[in-house]
Amino acid sequence: MSDPLSSKAGPRSIGAAFAALAERLGVILGRGVPATATAGPEGVGAEAAFTPFFPAMLDLLPDPLILIQGWERQDAGARRFIYANNAARDLLRIQRPQAALTTAIRAPEVLDAVDVALFDDTPSQADYVIRGVQDRFWRASALPLPQPLGAPRLALLTLRDETEIRRSERTRADFLANASHELRTPLASLTGFIETLRGHAREDPEARERFLGIMHIQAERMRGLIDDLMSLSRIELSEHIPPSGQADMVSVVIDVLDALGPLAKTRSVTFQTRLPSPGEAVAAADRGQIVQVIQNLVENAIKYTADGGSVMVEVIGDLATADAGTAVGDLPARFSILTPDRATGKRYVVVRVRDFGPGIDRNHLPRLTERFYRVEGQKVRDRPGTGLGLAIVKHILNRHRGGLIVESGLGVGTRFTAYVPKGEAAGA
Ligand code: ADP
């Protein structure tokens, strides 16, 4: 079968071969495009002058774009690439012009969409998933093209990368499902106890007191969860606005340790601190948010420390980016959860919170700041936690253009290092 669009090119690069085809394609399509016909003589001249640039222009497009030809519906092997721009050649690893369509695309939905465009003269769309280490989701659109007399049928296939949209939709759906589940559990418990109190516990003062105590804990749990959810959404809303205040990290740590003193006392946990003088560790920070960061880290440290143990909090007033972002290195595993953009000359205030609790296996470290992520098998008696504390920490530090490192080892404990840019007052 003769092929009016076939390349007579010798052994050139695939890009050049496609470009030659595209140049001819520009001429073919130019003839069929209505704009050319309706434009005045000036318009026609201007468009013709740009035709040689069509291939280069198409290669600059970020979305894969492919021109496909077909002869008859029954002849699947005759569906061939006539042109593929750079993005398409990279994505589909098209080795040569005129390759059969099925050498690069095997997804039946996409092939069907192309057939509809080619032979039914109707636009058609399909989802196209490219499986790999990380699946990528594309939206394929096949559009019929005007067909020159006696030539094969033509369709334009474009692919739009929807991976990020899908991922964020998924995250949102997971988040809603998790939040509802977390709220439903204490709610179910409350409902159950209300029934019991109305029923057989009505005349039993001892049981009533016990149940009311449990109901109080469950109600507190719901309140904590709602507080954390509200915090997280507030922080996300302001994440793109840099903080404008200054916070003396030493006074922040002292305030947090004072506030958590009673909790530590109930567990006989003692604090050890290594702090510079007030004024030597001033951060460019929203004080309220930084209090929340330190509070969440110290509260976790207390929670995962055995009764009678100790928690160490250290503040360092002035470190360069590389030093602030380097783990101490004395624990078996480390992971940098958040790293600020490297800006030369930037100085940081660093806070380290170290506990000697059960530690966290290295596999879990990258996932700790995911919403509702919890390390399986950890027993926490006092406060079940919301699974949102570290997510809040990460978002606040991100807003501050700061960083977060976790180091840990099973049986030897955990250290979180949070660092935020130094404030002006301290530099003065
Ligand atoms: P939670 O409210 O459950 O503590 P976080 O977001 O603060 O939620 O922490 C997420 C998970 O990370 C915790 O459930 C726990 O499994 C683990 N984790 C956090 N801090 C520590 C720590 N200091 N020691 C051991 N595990 C920790």
Q: Which of 56, 61, 55, 63 is nearest to 83 (CA)?
A: 55
**Distances, alpha carbon 278 to alpha carbons 89, 245, 247, 254, in Å:** 60, 17, 11, 10
Confidence class of residue 171 from pLDDT cuts 50, 70 and 90? confident
Tell me if 296 sits within 8 A of 392, measured CB to CB. yes
Alpha helices in 39-84 (DSSP H): 41-50, 54-60
* 370 pLDDT above the threshold of 60: yes
Confidence class of residue 14 from pLDDT cuts 50, 70 and 90? low
What is the reported pLDDT for 323?
93
| Probe residue for ligand 1, chosen from 368, 381, 392 as the CB with the greatest number of ligand atoms within 8 Å | 368
3-state secondary structure of 18: helix
3-state secondary structure of 114: helix
Residue 295 has a CB neighbour count (10 Å cut-off) of 20
What is the reported pLDDT for 389?
94
In the chain, the largest separation of any two C-alpha atoms, in whole Å, equals 98
How far apart are the CA of 349 and the centre of ligand 1, in A?
23
Nearest 5°: phi and psi at 76?
A: -60, -35
Q: What is the DSSP string of 354-376?
A: EE-SS---GGGGGGTTSTT---T
* 9 pLDDT above the threshold of 50: no
Q: Which CATH class is domain 165-237?
A: mainly alpha
Residue 237 has a CB neighbour count (10 Å cut-off) of 9
Tell me if 134 sits within 8 A of 109, measured CB to CB. no
Q: Phi-psi category of 39—alpha, beta or left, where left has phi over 0 and alpha has psi -120 to 50?
A: beta
- pLDDT tens track for 66-125: 999 998 888 888 899 999 999 999 999 887 878 899 999 999 999 999 999 999 999 999
Which residues 6+ apart lie within 8 Å of 397 measured at CB?
A: 293, 338, 403, 404, 418, 420
What is the reported pLDDT for 22?
59
242-428: CATH superfamily: Histidine kinase-like ATPase, C-terminal domain (3.30.565.10)
Residue type, 106: R
Average pLDDT, the chain: 87
Which contacts qualify for 259-266: CB closer than 8 Å, 24 or more apart?
Answer: 259/295, 260/295, 260/298, 260/299, 260/302, 263/299, 263/302, 263/382, 264/302, 264/311, 266/382
391 CA closest ligand 1 atom index: 6
Q: What is the CA radius of gyration of the chain?
A: 32
**Distances, alpha carbon 333 to alpha carbons 81, 172, 183, 377, in Å:** 50, 30, 33, 19
* Cα dihedral across residues 415, 416, 422, 423: positive or negative: negative
358 CA closest ligand 1 atom index: 25
Nearest 5°: phi and psi at 248?
A: -80, 110
What is the reported pLDDT for 257?
97
* 356 pLDDT above the threshold of 90: yes
3-state secondary structure of 315: strand
* Cα dihedral across residues 227, 229, 232, 235: positive or negative: negative
Q: Which residue has the higher pLDDT, 379 or 231?
A: 231
Chain centre distance of CA 98 = 38
Q: Which residue has the tokens 């560790």?
A: 281
- pLDDT tens track for 178-209: 899 889 988 999 999 999 999 988 889 999 99
How far apart are the CA of 225 and the centre of ligand 1, in A?
15
What is the reported pLDDT for 91?
92
The H or E element spanning position 163 is helix 163-198
**What are the sequence ranges of the domains in the chain?**
11-161, 165-237, 242-428
What is the reported pLDDT for 53?
85
Q: Which residue has the higher pLDDT, 129 or 39?
A: 129
In angstroms, rounded to a whole number, what is the distance separating the alpha carbons of residues 17 and 95?
11
**CATH topology for 11-161?**
Beta-Lactamase (3.30.450)
**Distances, alpha carbon 262 to alpha carbons 256, 270, 366, in Å:** 11, 11, 31
CA-nearest residue for atom 7, ligand 1, is 389
Confidence class of residue 366 from pLDDT cuts 50, 70 and 90? very high
* 19 pLDDT above the threshold of 80: no
How much of the chain, in percent, has pLDDT values that exceed 70? 86
* 4 pLDDT above the threshold of 50: no
Residue type, 44: V
* 228 pLDDT above the threshold of 50: yes
Tell me if 252 sits within 8 A of 291, measured CB to CB. yes
CA-nearest residue for atom 4, ligand 1, is 385
Tell me if 425 sits within 8 A of 246, measured CB to CB. yes
Of 15-19, 149-153, 357-361, give the lowest mean pLDDT range.
15-19
Tell me if 102 sits within 8 A of 125, measured CB to CB. no
In angstroms, rounded to a whole number, what is the distance separating the alpha carbons of residues 260 and 162?
45
| Probe residue for ligand 1, chosen from 178, 375, 414 as the CB with the greatest number of ligand atoms within 8 Å | 375
Confidence class of residue 39 from pLDDT cuts 50, 70 and 90? very low
How far apart are the CA of 374 and the centre of ligand 1, in A?
6
What is the reported pLDDT for 11?
42
In angstroms, rounded to a whole number, what is the distance separating the alpha carbons of residues 321 and 340?
9
* 36 pLDDT above the threshold of 60: no
Confidence class of residue 331 from pLDDT cuts 50, 70 and 90? very high
Confidence class of residue 15 from pLDDT cuts 50, 70 and 90? low
How far apart are the CA of 346 and the centre of ligand 1, in A?
30
State if pTM tops 0.95: no
- Averaged pLDDT for residues 336-347: 88
Question: Ligand 1 site: residues with CB under 6 angstroms?
Answer: 296, 300-301, 304, 355, 357-358, 360, 368, 373-375, 378, 385-391, 414
How far apart are the CA of 194 and the centre of ligand 1, in A?
31
What is the reported pLDDT for 40?
47
